[in-house]
Amino acid sequence: MTDTPPTKTEGRREGSLDAPFRHPLAWRDPEFYDAGKIEHEMERVFDICHGCRRCFNLCDSFPKLFDMVDESPTGEVDGVPKSAYGEVVEACTLCDMCFLTKCPYVPPHEWNVDFPHLMLRHRAAERKKHGGDFVREQLGETDRNGKLARPVAGLANWATDVHNQPIRALMEATVGIDKTAELPKYHTRTASDRLKAPLAADPAGPAFGARKAAIYATCFVDYNEPDTAVAARAVLAKLGVETRLAYPQCCGMPQLEAGDIAEVARRAEHVTRELLPLVDQGYDVVALTASCALMMKFEWPLILPENADVKRLAAATRDISEYVVEIAKAHGLAEGLKTIDGGVTVHHACHARAQNMGAKSAEMLRLIPGVKIDVVERCSGHGGTFGVMKETRPMAVKVGKPAARQVAQKGNDTLCSDCPLACKHLGQLVAADLKEGQKPPRQAHPIEILAEAYGLV
């Protein structure tokens, strides 16, 4: 592999209308992990970022970088010690917003900047050299953790409750999980349990006989938010869609964040082998969490660009809100929608925005007659384990506060997000600033709100 920018193409210019694209990740090439080459590329990209600074108001990576540059002896990137580069990497949540919404120098521009994937490369090299962070990697074993917690869900939820101060203080002191962070709850009956019994598609539904959906529940919905899967299946059945559960394994987003690209590739191959036969039978694959849809549609094909099956699965995958909007446009809506009182604030999560499909959750909820919908399109700052570990939670709170203020200003009764962790994080930040007598907005997944409007939950 090479870090040399591609040759300038005649007619290429800043402000070009050419569609951006991403290069495949060359994670199997030994040079991908070469520390010297990585530092050289980081210096090149950081210098471009320093001269541009459009990303100053995204995650904390850019303020950290710019402060380092401004406070350095030279006032340029060459004055920043390379030993400090890791601080910029640590602050990146791989939200992809700089690549998608801000940077004018992404491919096909000759400067060839992909900041998130460069941060990922640094993490992968550090992990290969020093090993992974033990606690974060254990938290990332979501399927294992969910299966272990399932039979003792009540006890696990009691122990990890933010109000259980003695145990949370012990967790912070021993494993570094911030005692103020709300942690996901577990359930004895998972989504897989609750969706075992089939639910027939409504013959009166507009898509009856025309669409079939394999619901990829995702690890978070399966173990932590099974109501989302129940709501999704109920809505799809109401629309006439034949459904079945299809959840072989976690997509590997926690492992991607940790730089374990080989494990992500392994999971991509495994899940593809399990789901592709359903695609061949005419099923669409519907993911219930934005991060997982992003992985399946975009990251997996960049990690395994030679795998035609992965690309086929990516083409067949939809985010749940995207899928409902697609059905409404192609086939129409089932009758029976009633308005939701009190208004709904939709947080347009970064990993939904990174799918480049538009604000589909808001578009879906606007199908509900008479409902007030407001959109907040700013990063929540959560970023998986980033939002719960003691060393990074302050950054997650700092980044999330502007979005939380916008949520509070909307004054709606309901808060929803394509990302359930973002919704929980923002809800906690909003609640922390409430005055006496004020109630925080209830939290729900967008598909749960649509199911409520149909009277299905």
Each residue of 170-184: pLDDT tens digit? 999 999 999 999 999
Predicted confidence band of residue 102 (pLDDT cuts 50, 70, 90): confident
Strand 414-417 and strand 344-347: the pairing is parallel
User: Per the structure block, which two tokens stand in for 208?
Assistant: 């009856």
Q: Dump pLDDT digits (tens) for 2-38.
A: 454 444 444 455 555 677 889 999 999 999 999 999 9
Q: What is the reported pTM?
A: 0.91
pLDDT the model gives residue 109: 92
For the ranges 49-63, 340-354, 414-428, the lowest mean pLDDT is seen at: 49-63
Q: Taking residues 392-412, report their average pLDDT.
A: 93
CA distance 305 to 327: 29
Tell whether the torsion through CA atoms of 406, 408, 414 and 415 is positive or negative: positive
Highest mean pLDDT among 3-12, 51-60, 94-103, 214-223: 214-223
pLDDT at 16: 58
Mean pLDDT of the chain: 92
CB atoms within 10 A of CB 382: 30
| pLDDT one-digit tens code per residue, 376-389 | 998 898 878 888 99
Q: What would the DSSP string read from start to end of 200-265?
A: PPPTTSTTTTT-EEEEE--HHHHHT-HHHHHHHHHHHHHTT-EEEE---S--SHHHHHHT-HHHHH
> Which pLDDT value is given to residue 14?
56
Q: Are 261 and 245 in contact (CB under 8 A)?
A: no
| Each residue's pLDDT tens digit, 72-86 | 999 999 999 999 999
pLDDT higher for 14 or 422?
Answer: 422
The pLDDT assigned to 17 comes to 66
| Residue-level length of the chain | 457
pLDDT reported for residue 292: 95
Q: Is residue 135's pLDDT more than 90? A: no
Confidence band for 348, pLDDT divided at 50, 70 and 90: very high
% of the chain at pLDDT higher than 90: 82
Give the mean model confidence (pLDDT) for residues 206-229. Answer: 96
What is the predicted pLDDT for the residue at 4? 47
